[in-house]
Amino acid sequence: MVLQAHLKKITTWGLVASLVVIFLGWSIDIPEHDIAEYMQSKGLFKPSVPIIYRLVDFSTLLFGKNNFGYRLPSFFFTLVTLHTLYRFALLSFNRDVALLTILIFATLQATFLINLTALPETSLMAFYSAAIWQLTKYYKERRVVNLTEGIAAALLAAVSRNTLPEMAADYNPFHMITDLGWGFFPWGLFLLLGVIDKVRDPRSGTVPFIAQISFYAFLFTLLLLSLNPYYSHFDVVILCPMGALVAGEYIYKKFYSVKDAKPEWLYKVSIALWFILIGLLFAIVWFPFPEANYYGMIHFMALLSAFTWLIFFSSIGNKLIIAGTVLSVGTNLVLNTYFFPNLLNYQAGSKLGRIAADNGGIDYKLHSFKAEPSSSLAFYAGVPVIYDMSFKQLVSQKNCWIYTSHEMLDEFKAARPDLQVIASNPNFQFEKLNLHFLDPASRPKMTSSKILIKL
């Protein structure tokens, strides 16, 4: 009971801190690629639209086309997953393991990232977890209502993620393994050791089947996703609930079970790896955006100080769990308040689209000319973007806004001396982090400049 009371406090504060950091991240612009997938799905035949995009439509209808309306469905599915995961862990093990599991899930890197956008994989994760919970409950209690709800959740999971047109068959069975590395930060080591322990445990034959379901579900899903030729890097989130339970069970067994001694080596290795990761975080704070890293450094130093005090000078118990939680929450505080905002400052579509909306752009037609298509421009401006006009047709327009490359400014001025340059913004088209872009010296060569003009 003492352990349970401590875990309850740690889990409560961990969940609250995670929610605060998630909400802070909602001020960040939505990435261009994610909005493009959502906007493209709106033109698909209705049955093939992912469930989460239907909810985004409804949410943005209620709250407007903004960050809150777009991200609310992901947050809803995260809460659903937390609830179903807790109930399933409670059904399969005990309250201590259940508390550890939801704390691990809430502080996974993948959990923070899915709440910065809206992904079909997020709804699949929630329905898949609900299906496993209800079907396990049916296996234990033999109630038809649980079987019905489990089948319904499984059917919803099956239609949650559809193969979108832009998903090319880029098959690599090792993608999922590498994605587990970042997706399960900072608890990945315990997931790996938990899987190995399950495979090697000589007592596995005597353990009740209900206590093995999470492990089998994790392995089966990992195998299935690894063999899927239509792969998304965020497929890893589907593994998060069952993986969190495998890791939580392992931590409980090694550090809290009365039958096993606490492995000092595992604690030391974990702390050493986490300090290495803190060093990598320092590189992220110091090098890419040195001109704007003041607040990033403040948050980083607060994280480093709290983590160091906790490990070397504090006498409180449960150091491993608290240290992992502090590291995860602190890291994502730095990312959500410093790194991602600076990164998305180079997303011209969202920046200029918001400026157009704030300056009355919704009362005019919005055109794009000789610039890369930008879904974020349309989303944040709140109006459709017209792409098919010629230069001659554009300069004859009145009361319109034009999103174009800075190189076109002189040509537009020559044809329309009365134009107004509303704003300009650097732009970089990226789906993955590019090391040349992150290098301040080479960044100017990687970016272009976009402007918003008014005729």
pLDDT tens for each residue of 163-194: 554 444 566 777 888 889 999 999 999 999 99
Instruction: Identify which of 398, 395, 388, 393 has the alpha carbon closest to the alpha carbon of residue 411.
Output: 395
Asked whether 414 and 317 are in contact (CB, 8 A), the reply is no
pLDDT single digits (tens) 108-139? 999 999 999 999 999 999 999 999 999 999 99
| For helices 67-92 and 240-255, angle between their N-to-C axes, nearest 10 degrees | 50
Beta bridge partners of 403: 368, 452
Q: Is 282 found in the same domain as 422?
A: no
% pLDDT > 90, the chain? 65
Q: Radius of gyration (Cα) for the chain, nearest Å?
A: 24
pLDDT of residue 165: 44
Q: Report pLDDT digits (tens) over 135-158.
A: 999 999 999 999 999 999 999 998
- Pair 82, 43 in one domain: yes
Banded pLDDT at 43 (limits 50, 70, 90): low
Same domain, 301 and 177: yes
Same domain (yes/no): 241, 356:
no
Residue 364: which CATH number? 3.40.190
Indicate if 302 and 175 belong to the same structural domain.
yes
Percent of the chain topping pLDDT 70:
92
Residues 359 and 234 in one domain: no
Distances in whole angstroms, Cα of residue 132 to Cα of each of 111, 261, 449: 19, 32, 49
Q: Which secondary structure element, helix H or strand E, spans residue 2, and what is its range? A: helix 2-25
Domain span at residue 227 reads: 2-344
pLDDT computed for residue 397 by the predictor = 84
Locate 402 and state its tokens: 């034009």
Higher per-residue pLDDT: 24 or 179: 24
- 359 and 311 in a common domain: no
Judge residue 441's burial from the number of C-beta atoms within 10 Å of its C-beta, 0-12 exposed, 13-18 middle, 19 or more buried. exposed
When pLDDT is cut at 50, 70 and 90, the band that residue 205 belongs to is low
Strand partners, 450: 405, 425
- Which tens digits make up the pLDDT trace of 371-394? 888 999 999 998 888 888 888 888
* pLDDT at residue 250, as a whole number: 94
Segment 417-435 mean pLDDT? 86
pLDDT band at 272 (very low <50, low <70, confident <90, very high): very high
- pLDDT at position 202 is 59
Cβ–Cβ under 8 Å, residues 225 and 235: yes
Burial profile 255-267: b = 16 or more Cβ within 10 angstroms, e = fewer: bbeeeeeeeeebb
Q: Higher model confidence: residue 260 or residue 173? A: 173
Please give the Cα distance from 306 to 308 (Å, whole number): 6
Query: In whole angstroms, what is the distance from residue 320 CA to residue 280 CA?
Result: 20
Assign 406 to helix, strand or coil: helix
Q: How many domains does the chain have?
A: 2
* 222 and 242 Cβ atoms separated by less than 8 Å: no
Shared domain check, 146 and 259 = yes
Strand ranges of the sheet holding 385-386, from the earlier edge strand across to the other edge: 385-386, 365-369, 400-405, 448-454, 420-427
Residues 356 and 293 occupy one common structural domain = no
Higher per-residue pLDDT: 202 or 193: 193
The rounded distance, in Å, linking the Cα atoms of 170 and 140 is: 41
Round to whole Å and give the CA distance between 366 and 382.
10
Residues 89, 38 share a domain: yes
pLDDT at 327 over 50: yes
CB atoms within 10 A of CB 305: 11
Q: Among 344, 360, 391, identify where a domain stops.
A: 344
Final residue in a domain of this structure, among 320, 344, 368: 344
Residue 99 has pLDDT above 80, yes or no: yes
Band the pLDDT of 47: cuts 50, 70, 90.
low
Going from the C-alpha of 268 to that of each of 103, 195, 275, the distances in angstroms are: 21, 20, 11
CA dist 450 → 365, 405, 408 (Å): 18, 5, 9
Tokens describing residue 229: 């030729």
The tens digit of pLDDT for each residue in 4-14 reads 678 899 999 99
Mean pLDDT of 399-427: 92
The predicted pLDDT at position 168 comes to 47
Structure confidence at residue 429 (pLDDT): 80
> What backbone torsions phi and psi does residue 327 show, to the nearest 5 degrees?
-65, -45
Query: Over 60: is that where the pLDDT of 88 sits?
Result: yes
pLDDT of residue 278: 96
Do 383 and 304 reside in the same domain of the chain? no
Domain boundary, last residue among 344, 368, 398? 344
Question: For residues 196 and 257, which has the higher predicted lDDT (pLDDT)?
Answer: 196
**416-443: average pLDDT:** 88
Phi-psi region of 12 (alpha: psi -120 to 50; beta: other; left: phi over 0): alpha
In a shared domain, residues 184 and 41: yes
Please classify residue 211 by burial: count the beta carbons closer than 10 Å to its beta carbon, then call 0-12 exposed, 13-18 middle and 19+ buried: middle
At residue 141's C-alpha, the angle toward residues 137 and 144, to 5°, is 80
Peptide bond into 440 cis (omega under 30): no
396-399: which pairs have CB atoms within 8 A and are 24 or more residues apart? 397/365, 397/367, 397/455, 398/455, 399/363, 399/364, 399/365, 399/455
Buried b (16+ CB within 10 A) or exposed e, 148-181: ebbeebbebbebbbbebeeeeeeeeeebbeebbe
